[in-house]
Each structure stands twice: as structure tokens, then as C-alpha cells.
Amino acid sequence: MTEKRRRAAGEGTIYHDAKRGHYVGAITIDGKRRKVVGKTKTETRTRLRALIAAKEIGATVTDGRMTVADVVTRFLDRDVANRRRDGKPLAPSTLEVYRWTGNLVIAELGKVKAKDATPGDVERMLDRLAAREVKPLGVESLRRVLFTVDAAFRFAQRRGDVVRNPAEHAVAPQPTKAREERTVLDADQARRLLAVLDDEPNGAMFVLSLRLGLRPGEAAGLYWTDLDLDDRPAVHVRRGLRVVNGRSSVVDEVKTAASRRTIDLPPEVAELLQRHRRDQLEQRLAAPSWIDDRLAFASPTGNVLSPPNVRRQLADICQRAEVPVVRPNELRHAAASILSDLGVPHQQIADLLGHTTSRMVDRTYRHRLSTSIDVASVNDWTKSARDA
């Protein structure tokens, strides 16, 4: 029978807490009894060794009261909230992503002691988020959650609040559920939709997304002062729609610095906007009251548009145009895909969409529309210049 090895002095002790159903590691550091817990003996031994290693390199050993929720909350309130890009605060959409991912982490791991958190804890959290029955997270969302955990613990390390970063060696899973496919109109379908949009209330707003690739919030947030419809027709994208607690409002901010752009209007789109302006003026004069006369696209009372109402209106229009039902943001995808299919360079499409590089066009916005690929038959490299 093999004799059980006694732990040497300075290694601490590990025992099983049957009442709580976990293992406990304990060691005395600087006269204070420190404890860690784990689901297995191996996990507990790893955490105990981390405490010992921190002491050996002179790192701060936390008092054990700080939780993952504390780490994430301090990161969001002290670091993210005070960040600047080009001298300006982060865009609202960026702040919302940090808050969203941070809240997910707090809900899943918030009660775990920061000093006890391991890569396994982070990976199990990501697995749960990927396997949710309702709105499971995709690859990109999981990476954003992991990025937030990593950034939060790095911030805590710089402050001396924690010793280890459990996200440093964690790996995001590949979700088993297939990513939802987008519905993207081809050129023929887009033309049929455009024909119906001409006579629709606020139909010009959808035309701006389908022809110019505007984000739904960029189109819905336009003021009349953002539209030049005379000598050289153009649209100036410099504000957008924000939804907070279900309420829509227009803010003088855009998603990124590259999103602030001026786009020349095709003549027929400029004419459509002029007709829309006349129709809206008649509507305002007939209405008992009008809430905001700055809005290029408004509700029947002159208020900011509600995104759910906009989605329902577009779905109804698609059905009448006898094209696949698409969401407002998928009009932007159609704009990029149709232009790409026509051979427009992706960097030019990126400029149109408000991106600094063509990476997002390549990875996200460009969808193959042709049912067959003729690149090999059209570009026959088997013949020499002399044979051609």
C-alpha cells in the first residue's frame, strides 16, 4: 500500500468540505490564514499554488473579499467610462457593448471570488452562454465577452487588486448552433422593392439604406439640415438613433469616427427625397400638432421613429413587393453585396458604409449573390497571349 505523501511546510493543506461539497486549500501567509476553494482537488491545488507564487514574487495578495462582479464593475466605471478616442469619449454603441458583456459576466460569475477564478470558470461561463436556449451567443459575441473579462482583470492587476487573470489562458468555444443566416436581396429583388418604396410613407428612408448602405439608425436619425437636395445633392451622416430603455432619441453621435461621412446622392434618390419633403410638409400642416420638425423621417405625429414599428413596416412592404422579408439592417447588406457583385472595389464599398478598412465588407457585409461562379470560365489562363 502506497503511503500518502504529507505536504511539505509552506505548501499549505487541502481538505474536502463535505457540508459545502467542495475542496478547501489553506495556507498561512504573512501571519494570516488564507483559503481557496475548488470543485476538485486539482483545481484547489492550482489556486493554492497561485497564492504561494504571488507571495514569492512579492505580488499583492488580496484579502479575498473582492468578487468578479467587483472587478468588472470597477473596470466599467473607472476605466471604460473615462476612456477617450481622438479626445472624445467612446461612442455610445461601444459603451453599450462593454456594458452588455460586463452584465453577462456579472450574472454568470459575479459571486465568484476574484482570487479564486480560474480559466475553467471562464470557459464554463462561455459554454453556458453558447448553449442557451434563448438567444445563444455566437462566435463574435463570445469573443467580446472573453475580451471584457480579460480587460477587466488586466485593469485590476495594474491596480494591484488581483494577482492572476483567469481569462488569460481561457479559450472561447465554437458554438454548436448554426449562425442565423441573413436574408439578402439580389439586384432584381432590390429593384422590385425600390418600385414599391416610391409611394410609401418614409419609403425614402429605406431607399437610403438600400442604395447608400446607411445603417437603420443613421437613416432614421437624419435631420433635414443633413440633406443637400439642390446643387450637388448629398447626405451628411453625423448623427444617429439611440434606444435606451425602449425609448428612441436622436443623438449627435455616430458609431465610429469613420461613420461620419458625406455621400453624394443619385439624382433619382434626391428627387425622391424632395417629394418626401413636400409630402411631410403637407402632413405637418394637416396634423393638430407636430413634435419635431427637424426630423427627415418621423412618425405620423412628428416623433422619432420606433425601431419595432420600422421593422414591421418594412416586412409589410416586402410582402407587397413580393420579395423575401428583410430587416432594416439587411438592406445595408444588400447594398454592399450588389455593389460587390458589380465589381466595385471593396475599399470603396467600405468608405460608403463608413468603415476604415474593407475587412468588415469581406467578412460581414458581402454576400455571394450569383448562383454560379464564372470566374474560371471567363478568365481562362490556360491559353497564352499568342493563342488568344
DSSP 348-377: HHHHHHT-SSSHHIIIII-----SS--HHH
Cell of 353: 458604409
Interval 54-72 mean pLDDT: 69
Place of cell 438600400: 210
Q: Give the range among 41-50, 56-65, 225-234 with minimum mean pLDDT.
A: 56-65
- Please state the three-class secondary structure of 244-255 as a single string: ECCEEEEECCCC
- pLDDT-derived band at 112 (thresholds 50, 70, 90) equals very high
pLDDT score of 59 more than 80: no
Angle between helices 139-159 and 92-109 (to 10 degrees): 80
pLDDT at position 77, please?
92
CA 304 to chain centre: 23
Interval 47-54 mean pLDDT: 71
Output the average pLDDT for the chain.
83
pLDDT at position 42, please?
86
pLDDT score of 186 more than 60: yes
Interval 56-68 mean pLDDT: 63
pLDDT score of 6 more than 70: no
- CA–CA separation, 339 and 255 (whole Å): 23
Specify whether the CB–CB gap between 153 and 68 falls below 8 A: no
- pTM of the predicted protein model: 0.59
Q: Which residue has the higher pLDDT, 25 or 318?
A: 318
- pLDDT-derived band at 221 (thresholds 50, 70, 90) equals very high
pLDDT at position 331, please?
94
pLDDT at position 123, please?
94
Q: Which CATH class is domain 64-175?
A: mainly alpha
| CATH level 3 topology of 187-365 | hpI Integrase; Chain A (1.10.443)
pLDDT at position 157, please?
85
DSSP characters over 221-251: T-BGGGEE-SSS-EEEE--EEEEETTEEEEE
pLDDT at position 372, please?
43
Specify whether the CB–CB gap between 299 and 305 falls below 8 A: yes
- CA–CA separation, 306 and 318 (whole Å): 19
CA 300 to chain centre: 31
pLDDT at position 163, please?
82
353 contacts: CB under 8 Å, gap ≥ 6? 213, 332, 335, 336, 360, 361, 365
pLDDT at position 378, please?
47
With b meaning 16 or more CB within 10 Å and e meaning fewer, what string describes 170-180? bebeebeeeee
Q: Is 15 exposed, middle or buried (0-12, 13-18, 19+ CB in 10 A)?
A: exposed
Cell of 272: 425622391
Q: Output Rg (C-alpha) for the chain, integer angstroms.
A: 28
- pLDDT-derived band at 196 (thresholds 50, 70, 90) equals very high
- pLDDT-derived band at 293 (thresholds 50, 70, 90) equals very high
Tens-place pLDDT, residues 344-385: 888 888 888 887 777 767 666 665 555 444 444 445 454 555
- pLDDT-derived band at 104 (thresholds 50, 70, 90) equals very high
pLDDT at position 148, please?
96
Tens-place pLDDT, residues 8-17: 556 788 899 8
